[in-house]
Structure 1
Amino acid sequence: MRLLTGSLLAFLIATLVGLGATYLALTRGAAFGALTIGSWTAFPKTGTIDADPYARAAIARTGRLVTGVGDGVSFTADHDDKGKPLDGRCDVTVSGITPQARFWTLTLYSTSGSLAANSLNRPGFTSQEIVRHADGTFEIAVTPRAHAGNWLPTGGIERYVLVLQLYDTPVGVSTKAGREVPMPAIATGDCR
C-alpha cells in the first residue's frame, strides 16, 4: 500500500511539474533556436519544418501566422540595449540601420500581442515611409508625446513590444553571430 501511495504521489508531482513547464513554455515563448542581436530576438526556424514542438504548440495556441524562412524573419524587442523594459511612458529612441532587406516594418504591440492603440492610429513604420538622414541611418522616437520627425506614439501604455519584420532578407537560419548583422539601437530617455 505504501509503494502504491508513493508511486501515485510521484506520478502526481511529475504530472504537475510537466504541465506547469509546458504552460510556461507556451505562454512565455520559450522556443529553441533563438537568434539574439542586441535587444532584438528572432526565432528563424519557427516558420520551417524544423520548428521545435514548443514553437508549434505556441503557434497553435495563439493562432498567429508566422513568416516562412524564405519570406523573411521577425525580430522582437521588449527591452532597450541596457536591459530596461520598454515603457510607454518613457521616451525611447530606435536608431541606426536595419539589416539588408527588400522591405521592413517596425510595429508597436502591447504585451498581449495586439496592436497598441494611440491617438494617431499609427501602429508602426515601413521602410518606404521612414525619413532617413543623409548617411542612410534613421531615428524613430517612440514616445507618449508628440515628437518631430519619425514619431511612433505609445499611447502611454505601461509595457510594449517592438516587432521588426524583415522581408526578403538573407538574415535567418544561417546567421550565427550578432556582429554579422547591424540592428537598430534602442535607448530609453526621460520617463514621466
Structure 2
Amino acid sequence: MLRGMMGQGRWLLAGVAGVALGLGGAWLSVRGGLGSGAAKSGPWETSAFTGSADADLRTRAGVAVAGLLALSAKEAVYFNAGEDSAGAPLDGRCRYRVSGADPQARWWSVTLYGADHFLVANAERRFSFHMRNVPRAGPDAFAFDVAPTGAGAGWLPTGGQAHFALTLRAYNPDPAIIGRPDRANLPKIEKVACA
C-alpha cells in the first residue's frame, strides 16, 4: 500500500511540475517578444499584426498581457522600447535623452510605463509627451529627458524603478511607416548618466 501511495505521489508531482513548466514557458514566450510580423527600428519594436485579425496567438497574448487596446495599423502603429539606442536595457535609475524628428503621423505620443505595464506614479503627474506638449529642439524636432529626478517640464519621471519601457504611438501614420516600420525615423534613446 505504501508503494502504491509513493507511486501516485510521483505521478502527482510530475503532473504539477509539468503544468508549472508549461505555464512558465508560455508566460516567458508572451513576455519575450511580439511574435510574427515583428519589426525593429533602432531601440523601437513593433508588429505589423498588432490590432489585426491576422495576428497569431502569441501576438494577441502579448497585447493582452501589456494591456494594450490595439487599433489596426491603418489607425495606429505602436512602437515599444525596453532598451536604449546602444542596446542596453532601460534602467529607471539612469538619465536618458530622447530626441528626434516628429514621427510622420496625424498624432503621436511617447508614454513611460513601469515593468508592470502601468503608468509610473510621480508627484508631477507626468506620464507622457505628445506632439503638442513635447519640449521642442527645432520646428520639427523634439528632445526630453527620462530620469528619476529632474526640473521643469522637460522630463518624464521614472520613479527610480529598475526597469521601465517607452511606448510611441503613431496615430494615422504615414503609409511608409505602415509598410516598412523597420525603416521608420524614430527617436534616439541615449543614456546620459547613471546614479
What TM-score comes out, normalization by structure 1 length? Answer: 0.82
Q: CA deviation at 1:187?
A: 0.4
The match for 1:152 is 156
Larger deviation, residues 164-173 vs 91-100: 164-173
Query: Is the partner of 2:126 in helix, strand or coil?
Result: coil
Distance 1:174 1:98 in 2: 18
For residue 140 of structure 2, the aligned residue among 123, 136, 139 is 136
Q: CA deviation at 1:168?
A: 0.6
Amino acid at match of 2:27: Y
Query: Is the partner of 1:47 in helix, strand or coil?
Result: coil
Distance 1:72 1:184, change over 3 A: same
Instruction: Give the conservation status (yes or no) of the 8 Å contact 1:46–1:52.
Output: no
Q: Describe how 1:43-192 pairs up with structure 2 within 5 A.
A: 43-60=47-64, 64-148=68-152, 150-170=154-174, 171-175=176-180, 177-178=182-183, 181-192=184-195
What TM-score comes out, normalization by structure 2 length? Answer: 0.81
Amino acid at match of 2:60: R
Q: Deviations over 1:25-70 (max 9, x none)?
A: 2233341211100000011212111101211233455653112212
Amino acid at match of 2:83: H
Larger deviation, residues 147-156 vs 108-117: 147-156
The structure carrying a bigger strand percent of its residues is 2
Residue 38 in structure 1 maps to residue 42 in structure 2: yes
Distance 1:138 1:129 in 2: 10
Distance 1:103 1:36, change over 3 A: same
Larger deviation, residues 107-116 vs 133-142: 133-142
Instruction: Give the conservation status (yes or no) of the 8 Å contact 1:44–1:74.
Output: no
Distance 1:152 1:44, change over 3 A: same
The match for 1:8 is none
Amino acid at match of 2:98: V
Point out where structure 2 has 5 or more consecutive residues left out of the alignment: 1-14
Instruction: Give the conservation status (yes or no) of the 8 Å contact 1:67–1:74.
Output: no
Instruction: Give the conservation status (yes or no) of the 8 Å contact 1:144–1:153.
Output: yes
The percent identity for this pair of structures is: 35
Point out where structure 1 has 5 or more consecutive residues left out of the alignment: 1-11
Distance 1:78 1:63 in 2: 16
Larger deviation, residues 54-63 vs 41-50: 54-63
Q: Deviations over 1:57-97 (max 9, x none)?
A: 33455653112212111101011111111111111000011
Q: CA RMSD in A?
A: 2.5
